[in-house]
Chain A
């Protein structure tokens, strides 16, 4: 017995459309599925980075094919405020326009990364904050650094995630100043209707400028400048003691779905610049970061490796890389000079307290 026609027959049930139409539909569906399934993996916080880098694996500073070679330490001309510290009303010029503040703000809402760090370091506790994707409202390093503020921090209103803040919650909290960075710039008109809004530049490399602008908004611009001057002196001194250019410091971050090494135009990269420390050949590029695969993790070798892992390393890609023979064959790992660092201050939040922590950890490790 020979069974004929095992290929599927559907002409009866699909009428005039026929088989090719059905297949075409399936194909288009398949293609779409392929495209969309890729979209969800990057995580919202990095969408701006990945947009800028669709032709390579490098994540660029927004709006520039080459990032700065050090963190800019003065505001762009005309930005900020001319008023002396504590003087109100004041006009603050920022990335999306200028905003007038009639009185010293007492209920501040911070929407973007680094701004909570900025305010706490300047001695102000905000009333509303947002959280990073998969993270708590107050990063551990800030809770540890400001124990006296713990009650006020616990009382902050949670306004959702940094990438998609909940505007209803924000409005209900009745802030008198909203701080956000330019990744939320599109929301500026809506935010301004809720409360006076100041938009900072954002991205780790701009952490000094952002601190100055946040300072200008809350009437503490001069204090912010003093903080930065102190930081610069301290970082340069410590760096010189630790060996300067002769020590090559590698910076790697593992997140659940990708591995990155950080370049010169990143927050931690700029701190190495401020300290005058050397970087491995592979990390001297002027961009935020570059994605690398598990097979190429050896190009991130250096005298020291400072790596962080977001989430539980045992349950993500990081676990298999860190346990793999290639990682274990690295110069720094063999010399026990691969240091696991806290993801929050090193690679997620860019502010003065985080910067101090990075300097301290670099100094403690390299100086030991």
Chain B
């Protein structure tokens, strides 16, 4: 009995330290994002600019460009990490992420409609269309995947999501090529960049992020139960459909806010939950996986953005292009190490 308790204490300690490590990583990514770029600014100068302002070019860059983009990276990265984790939970599918399930493409289509019709511009307008698009995509993909024998298996969900993404992507392109003004604006938005966004984007994003996080964390226990299979989850007293709907709504909110703010950014939602599970020892519950995914998502997106600023200086490569290039090697190393030891 005491042996079990000791083991449990050790596990909690290990997981706490994993979260601590992720916090340190995120803090380091924030520091790098403030200091590193096509214009290198030493950390003391960054601090000076943050605390006392100033009007020399370095201080202007830190305050007017680096701070907003770092804040957007933090929030969008956390949103994508959370959204990926919860999607993998509710679909019981390791391949699930906002991109593969069609949510990102749905949100993007929503934004294109907003731009093309001229009904909305900027984050505040885009986000509602993105949300509607993401919810519509989630419903459509789920409806397609549940048809036929065996219900919504992981493979059917991934296939339905990919097919739906391709279809919506085609429609989006048709809409874009018919209007050059829309294309201009879209081209700027769709590269998946953190720079050049309105400074108040983050403050507008926070309510959506908070609502999404609340929904997602609210169904953490339900997600743990879902992992055992629907029947066992029901036997344990969980309302399976309610958990799924709540998780999917949360994921759609989070994806929509990230997509509306930074454009479609792939890979973070897919990779980060896997990273989180690998870092956590044993079979950790979602109350560990979710916060860790949020932290690692933020760290990964910021790291990708920073890398994008140095590879082609004095020009930049958008974060959306860099996420996979930065994230894949880390994930491969982790999988190989764990795979060899287990």
Residues of A within 8 A of B (CB): 1, 3-10, 13-14, 19-20, 22-27, 29-31, 33-35, 37-38, 41, 43, 56-57, 134-135, 256-258, 290-296, 298-299, 310-312, 315-317, 320-321, 324-326, 329
* Contact for B187 among A30, A34, A257, CB less than 8 A: A257
Verify A135–B180 contact, CB threshold 8 A.
yes
Verify B188–A7 contact, CB threshold 8 A.
no
* Contact for B184 among A22, A34, A312, CB less than 8 A: A312
Chain A residues with CB below 8 A from B277, complex form: 7
The reply to whether the CB of B289 lies closer than 8 angstroms to some CB of chain A is yes
The reply to whether the CB of B266 lies closer than 8 angstroms to some CB of chain A is yes
Verify B94–A26 contact, CB threshold 8 A.
yes
Binary flags per residue of B232-263, CB closer than 8 Å to A gives 1, else 0: 00001000000000000000000000000000
Chain B residues with CB below 8 A from A324, complex form: 60, 64-65
CA separation between A295 and B64, bound complex, in Å?
A: 9
Verify B196–A57 contact, CB threshold 8 A.
no
Given contacts A37-B321, A293-B37, A316-B185, contact A134 B180 (CB under 8 A): yes
CA separation between A286 and B227, bound complex, in Å?
A: 61
Minimal Cβ-Cβ distance residue in B for A258? B315
Verify A293–B315 contact, CB threshold 8 A.
yes
Given contacts A31-B324, A296-B38, contact A6 B315 (CB under 8 A): no
Chain B residues with CB below 8 A from A7, complex form: 227, 277, 283-284
Verify B57–A326 contact, CB threshold 8 A.
yes
The reply to whether the CB of B175 lies closer than 8 angstroms to some CB of chain A is no
CA separation between A183 and B188, bound complex, in Å?
A: 25
The reply to whether the CB of B198 lies closer than 8 angstroms to some CB of chain A is yes
Chain B residues with CB below 8 A from A57, complex form: 312-315
Verify B324–A22 contact, CB threshold 8 A.
no
* Contact for B286 among A6, A25, A38, CB less than 8 A: A6
Chain A residues with CB below 8 A from B44, complex form: none
CA separation between A239 and B267, bound complex, in Å?
A: 54
Chain A residues with CB below 8 A from B309, complex form: 293, 295
Question: Looking at chain B, what size class is its interface with the partner chain?
Answer: 35 or more
Nearest Cβ in chain A — how far from B137, in angstroms? 17
Verify B187–A8 contact, CB threshold 8 A.
no
* Contact for A315 among B154, B185, B321, CB less than 8 A: B185
CA separation between A238 and B187, bound complex, in Å?
A: 39
CA separation between A296 and B195, bound complex, in Å?
A: 13
Nearest Cβ in chain A — how far from B100, in angstroms? 8
B residues 216-231 in Cβ contact with A at 8 Å: 221, 223-225, 227-228
Nearest Cβ in chain A — how far from B169, in angstroms? 11
Given contact pairs A19-B94, A293-B314, A315-B184, a sample of 5 additional A-B residue pairs in the complex whose CB atoms are under 8 Å apart: A3-B227, A7-B284, A8-B93, A295-B39, A316-B187
Chain B residues with CB below 8 A from A135, complex form: 180
The reply to whether the CB of B192 lies closer than 8 angstroms to some CB of chain A is yes
CA separation between A143 and B294, bound complex, in Å?
A: 55
CA separation between A135 and B315, bound complex, in Å?
A: 25
Minimal Cβ-Cβ distance residue in B for A8? B94
Minimal Cβ-Cβ distance residue in A for B237? A1
Verify A37–B320 contact, CB threshold 8 A.
yes
Nearest Cβ in chain B — how far from A251, in angstroms? 16
Verify B227–A8 contact, CB threshold 8 A.
yes
- Among B19-27, B71-79, B331-339, the stretch that binds chain A is B331-339
Chain A residues with CB below 8 A from B89, complex form: 8
The reply to whether the CB of B124 lies closer than 8 angstroms to some CB of chain A is no
Verify A34–B315 contact, CB threshold 8 A.
no
Chain A residues with CB below 8 A from B284, complex form: 6-7
Nearest Cβ in chain A — how far from B6, in angstroms? 16
Minimal Cβ-Cβ distance residue in A for B192? A37
Chain B residues with CB below 8 A from A13, complex form: 153-155
The reply to whether the CB of B211 lies closer than 8 angstroms to some CB of chain A is no
Nearest Cβ in chain B — how far from A281, in angstroms? 14
Nearest Cβ in chain B — how far from A236, in angstroms? 33
Nearest Cβ in chain A — how far from B273, in angstroms? 9
B residues 92-131 in Cβ contact with A at 8 Å: 92-95, 99-100, 121
B residues 273-313 in Cβ contact with A at 8 Å: 274, 277, 283-286, 289, 309, 312-313
Minimal Cβ-Cβ distance residue in A for B273? A8
Task: Enumerate 21 A-B pairs (CB-CB under 8 Å) in ascending A order.
Answer: A1-B236, A3-B227, A13-B155, A22-B94, A30-B270, A33-B99, A35-B321, A37-B264, A38-B321, A41-B318, A43-B187, A57-B314, A256-B187, A257-B187, A293-B315, A295-B39, A316-B185, A324-B60, A326-B60, A326-B65, A329-B60
